Amino acid sequence: MTPERPRAFDEITLDGTPYLVLGRRKGQRGMEAKKIIINEALHDPLWDLSLNALERVRASSARPYEPNAELEREEFFLLDLDEIPEQPEKLSKHRKSDLPTEDHNEDRTAALIRTLRDVGVLDTLAPYGLPQFPSPIFYSVAWQQADDTWVHFIRKTNPRVVFKPGLSWFGYGDTLKKIEDPAMVIDDRVDMILTSDHLAAFRGLHLKTLFTDVHIVLQDVPKYVESIAKVLDEESIGITGDARVALLAASKRRVSFAARIYHLQERLSEIRLDLDRLGAVLDLHSIDIDSLLDGEGRLHFQEDQAGLFLDVLDGRFFKDDWTDEPRRADRYSRRQPASGQ
């Protein structure tokens, strides 16, 4: 099903002072980023760059990310950040994690997203420090929003790779002058827009290269499915081979399914699934139990029902408190109690 473009993209503002952020890989699955203060004379060009990318999203159709899909000219991939986990880093006995001890991000948000979440905490890269920040793999133009979140307009390229030995660069003012020490080049393209909740990408290739940790999760989906099958067998409900194949096929088609299968391992330990409880939940939402079971009482479904299976176990079905209208939650997250509750 084609997703609707989130209203958040219509509400993005490009006010205030933008920052330029450079990012590079740190270890196998980490990212490091630093911000650069931009001269006021460059604010308008960067505003134009960002606005053009926003208008492209607003004029295009969103589609779910599929690893092997090709986008049409007026399409973009849309990913929900809540459905992008990061495979936890495997540490040696003598090496500690680079994550701060106060990081309570339970779903291990992808390294790129975590790094860019708050530009305010990034170190500022002074001009003399640029040579000491080698091999950046992307840059972004970052704008702070009214709610203190950040929106990034990301270009997947090294802005310094164009400065090759033996080449001379010139600028034109009143006369043509040689640029003695060019720092970087920013072109007129944006490859993806990152908000606090969503990611819009204009090319799938850049998702594959910037989100290697996500694809590590995709590669490990068979292991997660086997883990899920083991838990279900222990709970005396079981899952058929066809259903396992269906979960694997669905996860290859949609990154979000891979992420949800990743979380389902822990979820099963919380809900203690059995046939009676499953039947009760399905009855509550008027779902035929035979749509998810075979004749022997084992979980059984095809690829087109994998989403239904995940929705049921994730508890995404509910009724509107006011109208009793059946609904499906787009995201699974814990609600923080309001003050006084």
pLDDT tens per residue, range 80-92: 887 676 554 444 4
Where does the pLDDT of residue 335 fall: very low under 50, low under 70, confident under 90, or very high at 90 and above? low
Tokens of 95: 């090496």
Regarding pTM above 0.75, the answer is: no
Q: Is 35 within 8 Å of 171 (Cβ atoms)?
A: no
Three-state DSSP at 72 gives coil
pLDDT confidence of residue 4 = 67
Instruction: Identify the CA nearest to 189 among candidates 159, 155, 218.
Output: 155
Q: Mean pLDDT throughout 58-71?
A: 81
Q: Which residue has the higher pLDDT, 108 or 314?
A: 314
Q: Give the percent of the chain with pLDDT over 90.
A: 38
State the Cα–Cα distance between residues 117 and 194, nearest whole angstrom. 9
For residue 187, count CB atoms less than 10 angstroms from its CB and return exposed for 0-12, middle for 13-18, buried for 19 or more. exposed
Written as one string, the DSSP assignment of 225-290 is HHHHHHHHHHTT--B-HHHHHHHHHHHHH-HHHHHHHHHHHHHHHHHT--HHHHHHHHHHTT--GG
pLDDT confidence of residue 52 = 95
pLDDT confidence of residue 105 = 39
Residue 246 has pLDDT above 80, yes or no: yes
pLDDT confidence of residue 218 = 73
pLDDT confidence of residue 341 = 39
Where does the pLDDT of residue 176 fall: very low under 50, low under 70, confident under 90, or very high at 90 and above? low
- Cα separations (Å) of 162 from 116, 158, 159, 185? 25, 8, 7, 8
Q: CA angle 272-86-302, nearest 5°?
A: 55
Where does the pLDDT of residue 140 fall: very low under 50, low under 70, confident under 90, or very high at 90 and above? very high
> Which of 62-66, 273-277, 321-325 bottoms out in mean pLDDT, i.e. has the lowest?
62-66
Q: Which residue has the higher pLDDT, 53 or 81?
A: 53
Where does the pLDDT of residue 240 fall: very low under 50, low under 70, confident under 90, or very high at 90 and above? very high
Residue 172 has pLDDT above 70, yes or no: no
